Structure 1
Amino acid sequence: MGNIVASLCRNCGFKNEFRVGGGKFNHLTHCPVPSINKETLEFETVNHYNHKDSEKYLFYSDDNLKGDNYNNKSFSNFDLYFNEEGNYCPSCKAKKLAFRITMYVD
C-alpha cells in the first residue's frame, strides 16, 4: 500500500505533495520515494527499484537528509523509513521539512 504525503518547510514555506510506495498491482516493480537529485539539487520522486544503486540520488530514507526528528515519529514503506520532521529542504537547505501522510492509496 502506498501513501500520498504532503511536505512543508517550517523555515521557508517550501511545499509539495508526492507519493511513497506502490499500489496493490505494482508494488513489486514500482516504489516511488522522495529524493534529492545530486546533479540538480532538486526534489524528485523516483522509483526506488530502478535507482537504489544509483549514485545520482539521495533518498529521504538516508540519514544524510535527516535532521532532528523532534516528535520522534516516522513512517515506512517496507525497509525504507522516513522521518516526519527534520528533513532536508531543497529550497532553503535547512533540515526543517516536515512530511505528513494525507492519504493511503492502494
Structure 2
Amino acid sequence: MGSLSMAKCPCGFSQKVKVGGTMRDFLKYSTFPFYCSSCGVVDVNVATEGVHECPKCQSQDIIQYGDDRVSIPTQFNQSLQWGNYNCGQKDHLCPSCKQQTLSFNLYMMID
C-alpha cells in the first residue's frame, strides 16, 4: 500500500509526492521522494535495481530525502517509509528557498 504526502515549506513551496506503489504494480513501480538539483522534489521509481535517475531530466545526480546531504537527521521522527527508504517528517532541503525547512505530511493512503 502506498501513500500520497504533501511536501510543504514556510516559503510557500508545496507539492504532492507519492510513496510506494499499488497492489497491482508495486514490484515494477514504487516511488520515493528524491532531490534533484535541476528539477526539485521528484518521485523516483525505487522498485528497480541499480542506479536511480530523475524522471524529469534523467540525471543520476539525485539524493534521496532522508540522506544527510538533504535532510537533518532526527530520531523517532519517521514520516515516510517504503522498504529500505525512509525519512523524517521535517527538516529537509526545500528546492525553492534552499533552507532545511521542508516537511512531509501524510495526505492519503492509496492501494
Answer yes or no: is 1:15 the counterpart of 2:29: no
TM-score relative to the length of structure 2: 0.80
Instruction: Tell me the equivalent position of 2:27.
Output: 28
1:30-69 equivalences under 5 Å are 30-38=29-37, 40-50=38-48, 53-54=51-52, 55-67=60-72, 69=74
Instruction: Tell me the equivalent position of 2:56.
Output: none
Contact 2:78 2:86 in 1 (8 A): no
TM-score relative to the length of structure 1: 0.83
Q: Mean alpha-carbon deviation: is it higher for 57-66 or for 89-98?
A: 57-66
State the SS of the aligned residue for 1:65.
coil
Mind listing any 5+ residue stretches in structure 2 that lack a counterpart?
53-59
Query: Paired residues, what number?
Result: 104
Amino acid at match of 2:35: I
From the two aligned structures, give the one with the greater helix fraction: 1
RMSD: 2.2
Instruction: Tell me the equivalent position of 1:91.
Output: 96
